[in-house]
Each structure stands twice: as C-alpha cells, then as structure tokens.
Amino acid sequence: MAIRSSILTTLRMRTLRLAALMLAALPTAAAAACPDRAVDFPALSLTLENDMFVNTDSNYTSGWKVSAASGEVGPDTQPECLPAFFRVQQEIGHRAFDLLGTDPTQDATRQVQGRNFLAKFGQAMYTPRDFAQSALIANDRPYAGWLYLGLGYHVRSVPNPGPDGSRAEEQRLDSLEVNLGVIGPLALARQAQDLIHDVRGFARFQGWSNQLKNELGVQLVYERKHKTRNALPIYEDRWPACRPGGGGPAFCSPGAAVELIRYSGVSLGNISTRAYVGGELRAGWNIPNDFGTFSIRPGGDNPAPVSAP
C-alpha cells in the first residue's frame, strides 16, 4: 500500500509539473504567432477644401479633415492579435459586409490582400450666395455647419490567379464608414468662418443667426472601388510602339503606369442619403499602391499608401 501511494503521489506531481509547463508555454506560443504591433498608424493626413481656390464663397464653402489611416493588416493576422477596439471594429465591419452580401472574405473568386482601419475628425460649412442678407433667405441653401468624428474599415482584395498562374491587374477596395457628429451652432462653423474671414480681411457673412438648429448627425457609408492598372492602350504590348524595337513613348519605361479607379457607393443618414458613382484616371511613375485622391467626401479616405508595385 505504501509503494502504491508513493507511485500515485509521484505521478500526480509529474502531471502537475507537465500542466504547469504547458500553461507557461501558451503565452509564448501566442506571442510568437502575433506580430509585435498588429496595428500601427504610419499615415496622418490633413485635407482642406475651400471655394476660395475657385474665387467663390457660397454653398459648400469650406471643409477640413484630419485622418489617421493604419498600415495594412495582413490577411493571416488572427483576430486575437488585434487590440480589442480594432477587433470589435473588424467584427462589425464583416457583419455589415455579410448583410450587404459584399464580404470579400466570403468571395471564392478573390483573395484578400489586407485590411485597414481609419479614424478621422472634421468640419464642413455651408452658406447661401448672398453674404450681406441678415434675414432668412427662403430660396437658397441655409447656413449650416457639420462637426464630426468618423471610423472606417477597408478590405483590399484581388482576383484569384488563372489556370496559368497569371492574375488580372485589378484590385478592389470595399469600405465601410460611420460618421457621428452635430449640426448647428455646436458645430462652430460660424466661429471658424469669422476667424478665417477676419484674418484674410474679408467681409463676414451676416445671416448665421438663421443657421440650422442643433441636431445629432449620423451617416453610414458603403463604397466599393475598382482599380485597373495599365487601363489604357498606351502601355507595353497593347500599343505597337511599346513592343520590342518599337521605340515607344515614355509610358513604355519600367515603373510607368496608367490606372483607372472607378467607384460606387451609398450613403444613409440625416446628413446625406444618396447613391453615387465616379472615377479617377491617373498616370505616372512608381504610383503608390493606394486608391487615388483623398477627398473629404464620405468614403473618400483610402488605406495608407504602400510601396509601388
């Protein structure tokens, strides 16, 4: 009996030691599977739009936005490697994609290249054409300001390779964005415009007492962008001058590209409810691997540029 009891005690001690070693190894294994910084923010941008650049001062008269875009999070980065806030943001994003039937991670014809997170803060102001009228102008755009915070989530994907291993020169960006803020005097549009006009020596607008009243603003945006590289027939073998011995134009040289970026989207909320389409054509050398111009329009932000392909 004593020998049996001693054997059982020894086995229990070895079992406890093995369990302790396994538990101690778990954080090490998890740390090895996760990068040191799963999400960083290498890109901070300031965007200014103002109609003074075209010598007008009415309707959408000014806007500014500060945006912080994360670097690309690789497709193999597991959710548990993300900070809790971004993990929740990603989960909400994919649930919304599922609801819309547009989740690129569920599309068998595509491969996800990366994901990006976005945070922004901005202001927009709107005025009628007549700056001197202090009474309410019934047949023109009302005075209004919009001060907001926004969060965005982007997923970049490419087509699957063909049977020969080649891949179409096309990328897609699916974007979700939510903006929360305030309309009315709390948006501080009057104070911002008065400050700029005083500094520049312009007359103040006289009708701000008629601006829209304070109201909570909510805006939900979904947008899809398609980028086609070398989209015009002036590149490589699509134009005879670019073929070997053709002595073609500068766009036949390495690093040169022509890109067509087209987009469509929908915006819902009491700030803007609309559907829209648009596009951008750009050409150059070593073009950043992003999705074009960063404008203040909803959905206009793109992931931080990465190295040119």
Tens of each residue's pLDDT in the chain, 309 residues: 444 444 444 444 544 444 444 444 444 444 446 766 667 777 788 888 887 777 777 788 889 999 888 888 888 888 888 888 888 999 999 999 999 999 988 898 899 988 889 899 999 999 998 888 888 888 888 999 999 999 999 999 988 887 776 667 789 999 999 999 999 999 999 999 999 889 888 889 999 999 999 999 999 999 999 998 875 555 555 555 565 555 555 555 556 778 899 999 999 999 989 999 999 998 887 788 888 876 776 656 665 444 434
The answer to whether 296 touches 47, Cβ cutoff 8 Å, is yes
Q: How far apart are the first and last CA of the chain?
A: 75
What radius of gyration do the chain's Cα atoms show?
A: 27
Q: What is the dihedral of CA 201, 202, 203, 208, to 10 degrees?
A: -120
